[in-house]
Amino acid sequence: MKRSWVEIDMRQICENARIYRSLLPEGAQIMAVVKADAYGHGDVEVSRALNAQGILLFAVSNLDEAMRLRENGVKGEILILGYTPVTELDRVLRYDVTQTILDEGYAAAALTVLGAKAGMMKAQAAIDTGMNRIGEDADDPEGCERFVRACAKKFHLTGIFTHLCVADTRDPESVAFTREQIRKFEQTADRVKDLELPYIHCMNSAGGLWHVSRCSRIARLGIILYGLKPDASNTLPAGIRPAMEWKSVVAMVKVIHSGETVGYGRTYKAHESREVATIPTGYADGYDRRLSNRGHVIIAGREAPVIGRVCMDQITADVTGMGVHPGDEVLLMGKDTLTADELARDLGTIGYEIVCGIGKRVTRYYV
Ligand SMILES: *Cc1c(COP(=O)(O)O)cnc(C)c1O
């Protein structure tokens, strides 16, 4: 049923991965970050397509996401980047996925519930180099080393990683901070070199392009896989492009007269006769309510301003003189114009939030 839907160009996602990979150092690998339903693009579909391209490393945010991928036949390593309640860790084992060990406290709690089975659970140790979110503090190199060695003893440890927090901005202070994060991470990696852990990684999308670590052979590729920018100031490599378009249809068109208002709160008032199109997509679909009287949509290549408030299930647009009819296709978010990054700029947010916010009731089509 075509009411509100997105069209996802899977070839573009694969092409983005290919181009990004070609810019990494020789021998480096991509870990595809497919959390949050692959940033709204469909985690199972994206992961399967990447499997077919030979990508065998994936990262998700939680156990439910990891299990979904396994249940749908996704191959390779699946790393849960965040918290899993320790009482669920038997399922991490059963589904052959990898759990991040957040810190020493988490390791101890995991051991208590897993007992002797802990040695079979794949795990990676988080190192905190400045994000101050998860991980053992890299400012204490001895403590960090002890943590990693303890993890290697107790779990089936396959790697260590850290997360960069300003790799996407190029001002000197951010660049210096990122270099320092990488230095701290490399120091820890060097101290545990003898463990020969296969997965040592510190780069996100931005890091992989603009900050390369000598000991990180893996880039955790998220937002750029989907053709969007980590930060509005970035220029993406040639050929990397958005893969998603969000569309809806004109449900009806009516004429309103001078003095009439549109929608809740009567926030739009006509000063002359206007043609108003009703479009069956609303904030419950993820169309941001802050676009009320502010955003625009595109119909047959022409911009139509959103007038009145965005409703839960519908929006209204001014289509005066555009010759618009019920059934006409409406572009809410595009690949070339009206992109997620452009919408994000208008809303004071990031493209990530726009694509992740597109709701479950918006049908995904793969083109
Ligand atoms: C989300 C996430 C990524 C991916 O970040 P992008 O900016 O989308 O590339 C990488 N690593 C961790 C730990 C994350 O949480």
Q: Is 35 a catalytic site residue?
A: yes
| pLDDT one-digit tens code per residue, 52-79 | 999 999 999 999 999 999 999 999 999 9
Identify the pLDDT of residue 282. Answer: 98
Tell me if residue 214 falls in helix, strand or coil.
coil
Q: How confident is the model at residue 114 (pLDDT cuts 50, 70, 90)?
A: very high
Q: Is 117 a catalytic site residue?
A: no
Distance from C-alpha of 148 to C-alpha of 161, rounded to nearest angstrom:
11
Taking CA atoms, 264 is separated from 81, 159, 269, 308, 316, in Å, by 42, 53, 12, 7, 11
Identify the pLDDT of residue 362. Answer: 98
Show the tokens assigned to 302: 């022409």
Q: Please, is 115 exposed, middle or buried when counting C-beta atoms within 10 Å of its C-beta (0-12, 13-18, 19+)?
A: exposed
DSSP string, 338-353: S-HHHHHHHHTS-HHH
- List residues near ligand 1 (CB under 6 A): 33, 35, 81, 163, 204-205, 220-223, 230
Closest CA relative to residue 17, chosen from 60, 53, 61, 41: 53
Q: Per-residue pLDDT for 355 more than 80?
A: yes
Q: How confident is the model at residue 1 (pLDDT cuts 50, 70, 90)?
A: low
Selected catalytic residue, list 35, 154, 184, 247? 35
Q: How far is the CA of 133 from the centre of ligand 1 (A)?
A: 13
Beta-sheet strand order (sheet of 302-305): 302-305, 296-299, 329-333, 244-249, 4-8, 363-366
Q: How far is the CA of 200 from the centre of ligand 1 (A)?
A: 15
Closest CA relative to residue 141, chosen from 107, 184, 109, 80: 184
Beta-sheet strand order (sheet of 274-279): 252-256, 274-279, 315-318
Show the tokens assigned to 68: 């979904």
Q: Per-residue pLDDT for 266 more than 90?
A: yes
| pLDDT one-digit tens code per residue, 235-263 | 999 999 999 999 999 999 999 999 999 99
356's CB contacts (< 8 A; 6+ apart) are 36, 37, 39, 40
Identify the pLDDT of residue 206. Answer: 94
Identify the pLDDT of residue 55. Answer: 98
Chain center to CA of 108: 30
Identify the pLDDT of residue 212. Answer: 79
Q: List helix spans (H) across the chain.
A: 10-23, 35-39, 43-52, 63-71, 89-94, 104-114, 141-154, 172-191, 205-210, 340-347, 351-356
Distance from C-alpha of 267 to C-alpha of 93, rounded to nearest angstrom:
55
| pLDDT one-digit tens code per residue, 315-340 | 999 999 999 999 999 999 999 999 99
Residue entry with tokens 């120091």 = 187
Residue 42 is which amino acid?
G
Sign of CA dihedral 29, 229, 242, 78: positive
Distance from C-alpha of 14 to C-alpha of 10, rounded to nearest angstrom:
6
80's CB contacts (< 8 A; 6+ apart) are 59, 60, 61, 62, 63, 65, 66, 92, 97, 98, 99, 100
Nearest CA to ligand 1 atom 4: 222
Of all atoms in ligand 1, which is nearest to the CA of residue 161? 13
Distance from C-alpha of 335 to C-alpha of 333, rounded to nearest angstrom:
7
8-state DSSP, 306: B
Residue 347 is which amino acid?
L
> What integer best gives the mean pLDDT of the chain?
97
Nearest CA to ligand 1 atom 6: 222
Of all atoms in ligand 1, which is nearest to the CA of residue 230? 7
Q: How confident is the model at residue 217 (pLDDT cuts 50, 70, 90)?
A: confident
Show the tokens assigned to 333: 């978010």
| pLDDT one-digit tens code per residue, 154-184 | 999 999 999 999 999 999 999 999 999 999 9
Q: How far is the CA of 221 from the centre of ligand 1 (A)?
A: 7
Q: How far is the CA of 204 from the centre of ligand 1 (A)?
A: 5
Closest CA relative to residue 91, chosen from 48, 60, 56, 120: 120
| pLDDT one-digit tens code per residue, 123-149 | 999 999 999 999 999 999 999 999 999
Model's pTM, two decimal places?
0.97
- Percent of the chain residues topping a pLDDT of 70: 99
As a whole number, mean pLDDT of residues 94-102 equals: 98
Selected catalytic residue, list 153, 193, 264, 269? 264
| pLDDT one-digit tens code per residue, 302-318 | 999 999 999 999 999 99
Residue entry with tokens 């108003």 = 276
